[in-house]
Amino acid sequence: MNNSDPKFEFRGINHLALVCSDMRRTIDFYSGVLGMPLVKTLDLPDGLGQHFFFDCGGGNTLAFFWLADSPDAAPGIAAPKGLPDQGELASAVGSMNHVAFAVPPEKFDEYRSRLKAEGIAVSRVLNHDDSPAGVSREVHAGTFVRSFYFQDPDGALLEFACWTREFTEDDVRHEPKTAADRRATSVR
């Protein structure tokens, strides 16, 4: 689909900002394990913390705050508790559920193997499709993206994903749910 007269001209994601507990460990993971160059570092005023940026390709960056007064992680609230293939997908409204990095389809399996060799726990490969289960064991004509998931040292859910086909008008056909459709969960 092509919008020839967009309301705004978007050029991707400038940066997505997450919060980490240990900036050194974050650099070791994102630059060391994933190979994202650290491109900008800032100390925030008044001892508030730090803000560092990693190049994640295509002119996009992934940024992290280290904040002196950050609350502890809240798995299952601020981010999923685990990996989607283990039934962990829920996170709170307004949270960041996961970050999906676009990777070349021809390198997809190699990248999964590399992460496993680094000792990173990775999910099984998910071939996302329009079936009732939402995934299939094999890639087929209805598969639109292949992906696998893993977590960073602070538990942020990450995904390596590659599109397998172009979208058509038929790919936008579901009626959007509203706040009234949510299942209310009570805190016990």
Q: How confident is the model at residue 188 (pLDDT cuts 50, 70, 90)?
A: very low
157: three-class secondary structure by DSSP: strand
pLDDT digits (tens, 9 = 90+) for 39-91: 999 999 898 999 999 999 998 999 999 999 988 888 888 888 888 888 777 88
Q: Which of 38, 70, 102 is the last residue of a domain?
A: 70
CA pair distance 67, 47, nearest whole angstrom: 9
Residue 126 has pLDDT above 50, yes or no: yes
Which domain does 115 fall in, by range?
76-171
pLDDT digits (tens, 9 = 90+) for 22-36: 999 999 999 999 999
Identify whether residues 61 and 126 lie together within a single domain: no
Identify whether residues 20 and 51 lie together within a single domain: yes
Where b means 16+ CB within 10 Å and e means fewer, 121-149 reads: ebbebbbbbeeeeebeeeeeeebebbbbb
Within a domain: 101: yes
- In this prediction, residue 174 carries a pLDDT of 79
Q: DSSP character for 28?
A: I
Number of Cβ within a 10 Å radius of residue 54 = 22
CA 61: distance to chain centroid?
13
Could you give the number of structural domains in the chain? Answer: 2
Which amino acid is residue 115, in one-letter code? Answer: L
Identify whether residues 7 and 54 lie together within a single domain: yes
